[in-house]
């Protein structure tokens, strides 16, 4: 088989994804947290990560994905996005703070499906669902996951039911409906949408997303580690992104554990995760942990906040993954950073003026976090800093207008 799913709570070997799906994505112990373990030689990455190769999607890394080469891949050209240097950020760090670092950006807005960093997970999910005969799937989403999964599951012929909060962007709703999938917009926020999705799953016996610890999402997103090896020839010293749920840092850490024995020279980057001040429960939890000197069980202490943000894809007011994400950040020597939502368009305008592109508001939260990291002395000379951005502006036209109007 090449891989097995193993329960993270009790250690039981579950089997392949056919077994996982047949058990309603639950171990016999009741846990929904499983991890994929491979019987593979990671030194194969020497060949897979050679520079100069033409790579079209994440399936370039088949030996380390839970499918076989013969399986029909549902792909729109995702995962192999450019990791490009943004020299204006490096210059700013040098000129303003005397920090000689190199800044690179993962351009997930160039993913071929929906133009978000959810495309790789949606592609792998669609491939596995098609292989194992999953006919219908549901999830709650604030926007990016819904759009990506709607695109890929439509391509795979899988019926998809999306439960969205009332403030999902109109452009996102339009994009989802254009795929022919079923969109239900809640009268409440993301919490109510999640409850409605759970009720639908229970009452209609439809498979539901396992959330941010979904092993499909983790396996797809860990391939960013391999892309760093291929495009940068190394692992960055610092990893930054805007965070809501936290799948991407969980996945990056998993990818680093996978390659640890084969490539001991590669070390986990410092994780600097960014939230805007209008929905920042992980930042608040981190500040409490620092103030209390990280007491036993510190990672299980977090608040629930009512989001006051216009950035609908960053509205996870209850940070359910903080017990996992918090220790990853701490063990990496990183931290959580808070940026102001007011004035974010200024950073978006800087990107537009220097790179000629419009980045979406969640991506700009990450970019603003870079400036905050400089301000708080979290970066140093010699650092290679990776900004893992999420999306462009095509489904947040209000933010594009704000960037254009910014002087």
The answer to whether 268 and 332 are in contact (CB under 8 A) is: yes
Interatomic CA distance for residues 250 and 225, integer angstroms: 12
Q: Hey, what are 61's tokens?
A: 């890394």
In a domain, 204, yes or no: no
Question: How long is the chain?
Answer: 407
In a domain, 190, yes or no: no
Sign of CA pseudo-dihedral 309, 169, 368, 83:
positive
In a domain, 342, yes or no: yes
In a domain, 340, yes or no: yes
In a domain, 131, yes or no: no
DSSP state of 61: G
Local structure of 314: helix, strand or coil: helix
Q: What average pLDDT does this structure show over 107-129?
A: 94
Q: Quick check: 180 pLDDT over 90?
A: yes
**Torsion angle of C-alpha atoms 140, 141, 145, 146, degrees rounded to 10:** 80
Confidence of residue 49 (pLDDT cuts 50, 70, 90): very high
Between helix 361-375 and helix 87-97 the angle, nearest 10°, is 30
Structural domain including 221 reads 83-111+216-405
User: What CATH number corresponds to the domain at position 101?
Assistant: 3.40.50.1100
> How many independent structural domains does the chain possess?
1
The answer to whether 372 and 274 are in contact (CB under 8 A) is: yes
The answer to whether 92 and 372 are in contact (CB under 8 A) is: no
Sequence-distant (6+) residues with CB within 8 A of 103 are: 85, 86, 87, 89, 90, 93, 370, 385, 387
Q: Quick check: 211 pLDDT over 70?
A: yes
pTM for this structure?
A: 0.97
Q: Identify the pLDDT of residue 71.
A: 74
Look at residues 348, 328, 356, 353 and name the one whose alpha carbon lies nearest to residue 398: 348
In a domain, 47, yes or no: no
pLDDT in tens, 388-399: 998 998 889 999
pLDDT in tens, 65-79: 999 876 789 999 999
pLDDT in tens, 372-381: 999 999 999 9
In a domain, 125, yes or no: no
Interatomic CA distance for residues 251 and 393, integer angstroms: 25
In a domain, 233, yes or no: yes
């Amino acid at each position: 088989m090449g891989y097995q799913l193993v329960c993270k709570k009790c250690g039981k070997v579950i089997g392949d994804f056919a077994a996982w799906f047949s058990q309603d994505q639950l171990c016999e112990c009741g846990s929904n947290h499983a991890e994929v373990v491979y019987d593979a030689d990671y030194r194969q990455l020497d060949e897979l990560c050679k520079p100069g190769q033409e790579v079209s999607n994440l399936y370039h890394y088949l030996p380390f994905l839970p499918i076989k080469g013969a399986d029909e891949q549902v792909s729109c050209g995702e995962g192999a996005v450019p990791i490009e240097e943004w020299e204006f950020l490096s210059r700013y760090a040098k000129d303003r703070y005397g920090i000689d670092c190199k800044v690179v950006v993962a351009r997930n807005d160039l993913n071929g499906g929906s133009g978000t960093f959810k495309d790789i997970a949606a592609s792998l999910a669609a491939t596995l669902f098609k292989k194992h005969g999953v006919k219908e799937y549901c999830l709650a989403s604030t926007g990016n996951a819904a759009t990506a999964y709607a695109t890929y599951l439509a391509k795979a012929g899988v019926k998809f039911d999306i439960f969205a909060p009332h403030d999902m962007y109109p452009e996102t709703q339009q994009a989802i409906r254009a795929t022919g999938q079923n969109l239900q917009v809640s009268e409440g926020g993301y919490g109510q949408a999640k409850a409605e999705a759970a009720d639908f799953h229970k009452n209609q016996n439809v498979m539901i997303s396992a959330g941010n610890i979904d092993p499909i999402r983790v396996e797809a997103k860990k391939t960013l580690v391999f892309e760093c090896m291929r495009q940068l020839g190394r692992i960055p010293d610092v990893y930054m992104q805007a965070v809501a749920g936290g799948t991407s840092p969980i996945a990056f850490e998993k990818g680093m554990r996978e390659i640890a024995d084969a490539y001991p020279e590669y070390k986990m980057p410092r994780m600097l995760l960014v939230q805007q001040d209008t929905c920042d429960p992980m930042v608040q939890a981190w500040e409490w942990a620092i103030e209390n000197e990280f007491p036993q069980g510190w990672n299980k202490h977090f608040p629930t906040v009512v989001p006051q943000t216009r950035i609908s894809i960053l509205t996870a007011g209850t940070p359910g993954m903080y017990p996992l994400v918090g220790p990853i950040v701490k063990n990496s020597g990183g931290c959580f950073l808070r940026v102001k939502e007011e004035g974010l368009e200024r950073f978006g305008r800087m990107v537009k003026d220097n790179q000629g592109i419009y980045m979406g508001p969640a991506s700009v939260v990450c970019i603003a976090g870079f400036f905050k990291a400089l301000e708080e002395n979290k970066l140093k000379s010699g650092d290679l800093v990776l900004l893992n951005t999420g999306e462009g502006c095509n489904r947040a036209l209000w933010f594009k207008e704000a960037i254009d109007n910014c002087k």
